[in-house]
Structure 1
Amino acid sequence: MAWRRSKEAASPARRPARHGRHGREGRSPIVRPPLPPLETRVERFDLAVGTAAEFLRSAWPELRDVSFEVGDMPPAADDDGIPRWRVLTAEKRIILYRLPIERLSHLHRDDDLHRRIMIEGSVFRAAAEYLDRDPWDLGPERFRYF
């Protein structure tokens, strides 16, 4: 006697796409995929540079027309190493390089406050170089309590 397969047995029944291997409906994940950060390191760096630059512009009339810009990396290293900023007095520009400031500065405590203080300190030092002054002279009221 020859064994014959029926058409139903030859091809298994296809389940709808929403069912899993065991015939159950697909379940939703308990935890959603991680959300993108509300603010990135680049945005925090830009915010710290912008607030420090606005403070300096309001305190020093010589800096009102100066453009504070953020670059990722300097074009090349010089004799002193990798520059953190570049002052172009003739063009009235100060360019702060984000990666050397963030990665090559050594913090004694690695948290948001100390990173912001380090970035603002770089802005103050670059502006002091532009004005040919000491950085501590730029914000005397800011450091009065220390």
Structure 2
Amino acid sequence: MARSPHRVTGHRSVRGGWRDRHGRGIRSAVTGPQLPLLTTRADVFETTVVQTAEYLKDLWPDDLREVSFEIAGLPSEVGASGGVDRWQVSVAERRVILFRLPIERLAKLHHSDALHRRMLVESCVFRAVAELLGKDPWDLAPDRFRHLR
């Protein structure tokens, strides 16, 4: 049986812009209402940066009062060493920019689990803040590493 040709009429089609391709309406979350929403790597990275920055601001309130912490995907240019920068510090603007993709993808972790990935991000925040303040990263939180001595 031959199909009738599709007619274009002056009214809006059944498949409006507010429905998905099968006309069922907007979809709900994949996890459903019983489970929490999934977290992405970007969410975990941002949470780790925010928590580490707040920790350092509590330790160094006078030095880090007006410092802004920002997250970007990639640096816009090749670093001074010819490699890819993990962070960028602007002392004049009191700004620290952390580049998520180089930090996550170029790391050589001996264990690729959540703890070691978190420690990697924290160490990058510590090193970037140390560069901003002109200090050694180990001097930023000396009590935190007392058990290692």
Q: Normalized against structure 2, the TM-score is what? A: 0.73
Displacement of 1:78 after TM fit?
A: 2.2
Structure 1 runs (4+) greater than 4 angstroms displaced: none
TM alignment of 1:73-112, pairs within 5 A: 73-80=74-81, 81-112=83-114
Q: Does 1:53 align with 2:53?
A: yes
8 A contact 1:58–1:64 mirrored in 2: no
TM alignment of 1:1-146, pairs within 5 A: 35=31, 38-60=38-60, 61-80=62-81, 81-146=83-148
Per-residue Cα deviation, 1:14-62 (whole angstroms, up to 9, x for no partner): xxxxxxxxxxxxxxxxxxx953952110000000000100011010120
1: CA distance, partners of 2:53 / 2:125: 7
Q: Which letter does structure 2 place at the counterpart of 1:52?
A: T
Q: How many residues matched? A: 114
Q: Which runs of 5+ in 2 are unaligned?
A: 1-28
Q: Which letter does structure 2 place at the counterpart of 1:46?
A: E
8 A contact 1:53–1:68 mirrored in 2: yes
Larger radius of gyration: 1
Partner of 1:7: none
Q: Normalized against structure 1, the TM-score is what? A: 0.74
- Alignment RMSD: 1.5
2: CA distance, partners of 1:77 / 1:120: 23
Q: Which runs of 5+ in 1 are unaligned?
A: 1-32
2: CA distance, partners of 1:66 / 1:79: 23
2: CA distance, partners of 1:105 / 1:116: 12
Displacement of 1:76 after TM fit?
A: 1.1
SS of the residue corresponding to residue 144 of structure 2 reads: coil
- Identity, in percent, stands at 49
1: CA distance, partners of 2:138 / 2:50: 19
